[in-house]
Amino acid sequence: MASDSQRMRHVLGTVMLTARHWRKPVSTMTTRLVALFGIVLLLLGACGGAYTPRPVFTPVLFIVFGQVGDSQTGHGIAGATVDILDGPNAGRSTVTRGDGFYRIPNLTAGGITLRVRMTSYADARRAVMVTEDRWVDFRLTSLPK
């Protein structure tokens, strides 16, 4: 049976042996990391400096909405077509609901011309600057029968 002092020498010897084996790889690893860091610094210097990430551009989008109504009665006109004729959103359109309300979402900023068309009514146009959500109402005049 081993005494406590023998066990202690065995444990200390194992620790010292383990420490000797780990010294060299740690030293080699440190050397490799320093060399890698130096290469990275050289590459960054060759590229003209540190990498600067570009900001992510998220476009701001707006909504144009309103009501199309009869100029004499004020009632909403269902089924009228609201078109964007020009500007950055040209070609977009929608149809009014049963109560005459319309909504055109996801518009980029800029000047647009809105046109409203409906059978038996005169067309209406309005120039609008879209820099925020806009409410634009139209009152259509009925054509003579």
Report helix, strand or coil for 121. strand
pLDDT for 4: 60
Judged against a pLDDT cut of 80, whether residue 70 lies above it is answered with yes
Report yes or no on whether pTM surpasses 0.75. Answer: no
pLDDT tier for residue 27 given thresholds of 50, 70 and 90: low
User: 47 vs 28, 39, 115, 120, CA distance in Å?
Assistant: 29, 12, 53, 67
pLDDT for 17: 47
User: 99 vs 9, 66, 130, CA distance in Å?
Assistant: 94, 11, 24
Three-state SS for 64-104 is: EEEEEEECCCCCECCCCEEEECCCCCCCCEEECCCCCEEEE
Backbone conformation region of residue 87, classed left if phi is above 0, alpha if psi is from -120 to 50, else beta: left
* 3 token code pair: 């005494």
